[in-house]
Amino acid sequence: MKNDVFGFVRPENDIHTLGIATISGLLEDCGYTVYTGNADVVRSVINIHLIESRSFLKNWIEKNNISKIGFSYRLDPYDGQKIFGKFYNFLISERILQKNGGQIERVYFAGLPKTCLLIDREYNGEVKTFMGDETPLETLSKLGVPPSKIKNEITQGAKYDSFRLDFAKEFIQIGKYQFYKPLRTPTYKNYGTRNDTLEERLFYHRKGSNLPLIRVHVGPYDEDRKEAIKLFKHWLRTLSETKYLDIVSIGSSQLSQSNFGESWEGKQNGGGVPVNSKEDLIELYEAGRPMLMRIYSGTNKTQEMAHIYEQTINICWHALSFWWFNKMDGRGPHDVKTNLKNHLETLQIIAQYNKPFEPNISHHFSFRGGDDVTYVLSAYLACITAKINGVKSLVLQIMLNTPKATWGIQDLAKARALLKLVKELEDKNFKVYLQPRAGLDYFSPDLEKAKIQLASVTAMMDDIEHDNHQSPDIIHVVSYCEALELATPVYINESIQITLAALNEYRKLKKDNPYLINEINKDTEPRMIYLYNTVKVIRILIESNIDSPYSAEGLYTLLQKGILNAPYIWECRSEFGAATKYNTRLVDGSVVLMNEDNKPLNIIEKVKNSI
């Protein structure tokens, strides 16, 4: 039987390549030859109406003996349908499909859920679609890979994920979570007042429960600013009255972050709550009491906004992104060095108010193709920087499922390595609170499947610090509906019910089957130790070779020299050429930096050569 050869293409206007790289890696691990369209190929796809482009693509397919071809497009659904349609018509008119006498046996499409639905409808199943919610084994099965060709490592790596999914399916099918009631709320002198704090809320909560506090990021958008604020106040009152939610994060709009207090006339805003005054914030705070409240930092006037958030909503903790939310990712007006300077000055303001700090950093590197070492290292460096600048408590957010093809045991290894490193910084003046969350784009648009995914990722959160029965301290619940629609209070409360009830049930399962955690630890330990030791060595190298490494200049140097890696940033690439030099690939469910020969790089040697 002949061995299939896979080819993957995308149009030049879509820069998303991580999905293609992930699928290519899975297939190569199974022994298949894979060709990914280079710059000439992607340019030909977008110019497929030209004779020379059609000729070039046909020659590329025939020369490489491609028998199965995949097309990726993750931008506008209707543009995706149209652009793919032109490509599919090219395959037909040039007689490249097997049914027309050509060599292509199967065509695949990967993209946004809506684009997949449009293509399913138009081609009646002739084109297999991938919405991105498939597990590695589901992906290989849809691509027609027989079980006999799937590596043992892939099958073994999927064991933990399959175990959690089986638990979650049964849990959701039984449906008892629907009857889960809010936890009894503790009352204490400062409860719901302007003197209330995260630490005090957690202290009194722990007197009555081993379950975590719940934080949710929420907020409606409306072009009519006043209507949006009015609706959000109604949402906040609802969430406060139903008592499932402890901490509400205001999902403020882009202009709220960049142009607070200014005229927005003629400026584009996008989604999020359009707060634009201290009065707005005070109204929202009053509507949400006694819930604790927080909000995005400003991308402009970051220091001033930190003061405003303290004065208006008694922000329960601040979050900063250091290298992100600036010109490099198109989310702010400053260059990276200025951004770092502003954020370090803001750390000192946070310390003055004696409030916790959340490093909102690691997953932004992962979004841009960063490797697992960069994920752990970037957060660790931020935590050290916070402590040096006087911060006394830290909310350690760990975004799981990023990228979503990551295996659960690899997620656990990253989380455990990072937590171990940061916990070592604790002393009488520095306390760490663990806050895991699901990945930003983890959930399926199929709502029943998404509920199962939410219960499954909640189980993994409980395995991070498996020997601490009061861990995690906080869970940032991502509502299961978010791949399909905005999370309203109804969805939010149900997602919290699923999360807390699943946590209870999973803990019972592990108590009745104590061998389970031993199996999980055995599979996770080697990778965790590698990440922990590697980051410890890199810290020593940094502190020995870079002047003032925890200053704005020092942190900038770490990115500029490629000690931190983000291969898929598209702005400032020339400035950060060393950080974008090497690509990453999913290897046994972990994200690994690769050299020019597509082999894993020795990270420590790379750092030594960089500094």
pLDDT digits (tens, 9 = 90+) for 390-436: 999 999 999 999 988 899 999 999 999 999 999 999 999 999 999 99
Tell me the average pLDDT across 311-337.
Answer: 95
Q: Are 97 and 35 in contact (CB under 8 A)?
A: no
Least confident of 42-51, 127-136, 451-460, 474-483: 127-136
* The last residue of a domain, from among 109, 128, 150: 150
Indicate the pLDDT class of residue 2, thresholds 50, 70 and 90.
low
Q: Is it true that the peptide bond before 182 is cis, omega within 30 degrees of 0?
A: no
Q: Are 117 and 126 in contact (CB under 8 A)?
A: no
* The last residue of a domain, from among 524, 545, 565: 524
Could you tell me if residue 571 is inside a domain? no
Helix, strand, or coil here: 108? strand
Hey, which bits of 65-133 come out as E strands?
A: 68-73, 106-111, 127-130
pLDDT tens by residue, 178-192: 999 998 888 899 999
Give yes or no: residues 511 and 438 share one domain.
Answer: yes
Least confident of 14-23, 492-501, 542-551: 14-23
pLDDT tens by residue, 530-541: 999 999 999 999
CA angle 498/477/397 to nearest 5° reads 140
Q: What residue numbers bound the domain in which 144 lies?
A: 5-150
Residue 1 has pLDDT above 60, yes or no: no
Could you tell me if residue 430 is inside a domain? yes
Give yes or no: residues 105 and 23 share one domain.
Answer: yes
Give yes or no: residues 300 and 423 share one domain.
Answer: yes
Q: Which residue is it, tokens 């399913």? A: 120
Report which of 16, 30, 130, 3 is spatially closest to residue 588, judged by C-alpha positions: 30
Could you tell me if residue 585 is inside a domain? no
Give yes or no: residues 219 and 306 share one domain.
Answer: yes
Domain count, the chain: 2
Pick the most confident of 62-66, 262-266, 330-334, 596-600.
62-66
Give the dihedral of Cα atoms 13, 19, 23, 25; nearest 10 deg: 100
Non-local CB neighbours of 275 within 8 Å, separated by 6+ positions: 229, 250, 252, 253, 256, 260, 281, 284, 295
Could you tell me if residue 562 is inside a domain? no
pLDDT averaged over the chain? 94
Residue 484 has pLDDT above 90, yes or no: no
Q: How much of the chain exceeds pLDDT 90, in percent?
A: 84
Give residue 482's identity as a one-letter amino acid code.
Answer: E
Could you tell me if residue 338 is inside a domain? no
Give yes or no: residues 106 and 26 share one domain.
Answer: yes
The values of phi and psi at residue 228, to 5°, are -65, -45
Q: Is it true that the peptide bond before 567 is cis, omega within 30 degrees of 0?
A: no
Least confident of 65-69, 155-159, 304-308, 591-595: 155-159
Could you tell me if residue 468 is inside a domain? yes
Give yes or no: residues 212 and 76 share one domain.
Answer: no
Could you tell me if residue 56 is inside a domain? yes
Tell me the average pLDDT across 106-128.
Answer: 94
Give yes or no: residues 140 and 204 share one domain.
Answer: no
d(CA 218, CA 323): 24
pTM of the model: 0.89
pLDDT tens by residue, 496-525: 999 999 999 999 999 999 899 999 999 999
Residue 200 has pLDDT above 80, yes or no: yes
Give yes or no: residues 402 and 299 share one domain.
Answer: yes
Could you tell me if residue 291 is inside a domain? yes
Give yes or no: residues 44 and 129 share one domain.
Answer: yes
* The last residue of a domain, from among 91, 125, 150: 150
* CATH of residue 143: 3.40.50.280
The values of phi and psi at residue 152, to 5°, are -60, -35
Q: Is the dihedral of CA 578, 582, 585, 588 positive or negative?
A: negative
* CATH of residue 308: 3.20.20.240
d(CA 48, CA 58): 11
Residue 527 has pLDDT above 80, yes or no: yes
The values of phi and psi at residue 279, to 5°, are -65, -40
Give me the DSSP letters along 356-374.
-EEE--HHHHHHTT--HHH
Report which of 365, 370, 364, 367 is spatially closest to residue 584, judged by C-alpha positions: 370
Give yes or no: residues 126 and 215 share one domain.
Answer: no
Give yes or no: residues 274 and 401 share one domain.
Answer: yes
Residues paired with residue 267 on neighbouring β-strands, in sequence order: none
Residue 207 has pLDDT above 50, yes or no: yes
Give yes or no: residues 51 and 109 share one domain.
Answer: yes
d(CA 471, CA 534): 26
d(CA 432, CA 216): 20
Least confident of 236-245, 265-274, 524-533: 265-274
